[in-house]
Amino acid sequence: MQSICEIARMTGVSPATVSRALNPALRHKVRQDTLRRILEYCEANSYYGNLAARTLASGKTYCIGLVLSAIENDFASPFFALQISGIMNVLSHYGYTLKLIPVSHGALEQVDQAVHKALLSHEVDGFILSSSMIADKTLAELKKHMIPAIILTAAHLQPEESDILTLGINNRSGFGELCSYLEAAGITRLALLGGDKGDFRIQILKEEARRKNVEVTEFMFTSLAFTIPQQMHEMYLEVKRNWNSLCRFRAWHCVTDLWALGALSAKNEIAPDQDIFISGYDNMEENANYSSNMPAINTIDPFYRRFGEMAAELLFQSSSAQKLYLLDSKFILRKTLQNSREE
């Protein structure tokens, strides 16, 4: 393998410039044309920086810890996959990798132990954590050691500012656009197919609907399964059981795209010619594995891939005084109502 001095000689720059170009944290200091020349030469000659040497020299692990529970369900989720894709895109740019730190679901004391162990053993240079998995001890440890960390607030929870950098979804923008569409279409009544009264998105939707004079009627199906493969089928069954009530509404909103697909399947089986506007939440179609084999549905897009990218980008800028960031959601219209006015 060539040395940095040899690469410098072949590319007409100093060894210090090559060193900066090969260090993702410093390459922004190298002129773009020079950086491109060095990286193209290294690629052509199969030269890759020695991570072990870089780690010893800098005292960094070049790993970011992602604390996870319910791993089986998380990795089956098309939405979680988009977040991970976004996180990995940015970490790769900075020369970092992702280390999974598994803990038991709902066991905050295990989160404390896992974070404490990772800190003491210098396993990672920073953390990405869920807001539902943060305990006081973990917060205190992160502040004490001044470790870069970011808290990700799930889409159904209200983002709250803390002493640790926090990222959440601004659901008001997407639901505001949805309700504006309903108002323009002359829809004054909306059936909300939900499953948890603690879902903060329900409050936001009802507030935005009230502004547009759209009356929301809730159908709370709390018995629906937590596991992803069963959700669509169980919503299909719930819509069939409640058809006599639901068929009176020209518009339905489901709290997830999976539920919307189940509702659409039931509607098409019972009344294929009845024109009902159905929307969901998540924009599953952003995931290539789902975009080609599912019917088009209207949705609120929380931009999960961009959410992951933004989380990682903010982690490398954790010195910012601002502690709470929100990513705007967006309403995506894929199927309009044929008759745009209620009778």
Q: What is the mean pLDDT of residues 16-20?
A: 85
Please report the pLDDT score of residue 107 as a whole number. Answer: 63
Q: Which of 69, 66, 82 is nearest to 125 (CA)?
A: 66
Strands 298-301 and 330-332: antiparallel
Q: By mean pLDDT, which of 2-6, 25-29, 68-72, 224-228 is the weakest?
A: 224-228
- pLDDT digit string (tens) for 237-249? 999 999 999 999 9
pLDDT at 31 over 80: yes
Give CA–CA dist 148/165, Å, rounded: 9
Q: What is the mean pLDDT of residues 333-339?
A: 80
Give CA–CA dist 163/16, Å, rounded: 38
- 115-145 per-residue burial string, b: 16 or more CB within 10 A, e: under 16: beebbeeeebbbbbbbbbbbeeebbebbeee
Please report the pLDDT score of residue 343 as a whole number. Answer: 47
Q: By mean pLDDT, which of 6-15, 151-160, 219-228 is the weakest?
A: 219-228
Q: What is the mean pLDDT of residues 282-286?
A: 84
Please report the pLDDT score of residue 56 as a whole number. Answer: 41
Q: What is the mean pLDDT of residues 33-37?
A: 88
Please provide the DSSP assignment of 21-65 as one string: HH-TTTGGGS-HHHHHHHHHHHHHTT----HHHHHHHH----EEE
Please report the pLDDT score of residue 218 as a whole number. Answer: 94
Give CA–CA dist 335/139, Å, rounded: 45
Contact 87, 308 (CB under 8 A): yes
Residue position matching structure tokens 């529970």: 69
Distances in Å between the Cα of 316 and the Cα atoms of 38, 150, 272 are 24, 10, 51
pLDDT at 120 over 50: yes
Give CA–CA dist 15/8, Å, rounded: 5
Would you state the torsion angle of the CA atoms of residues 314, 316, 317, 322, taken in this order, to the nearest 10 degrees?
40
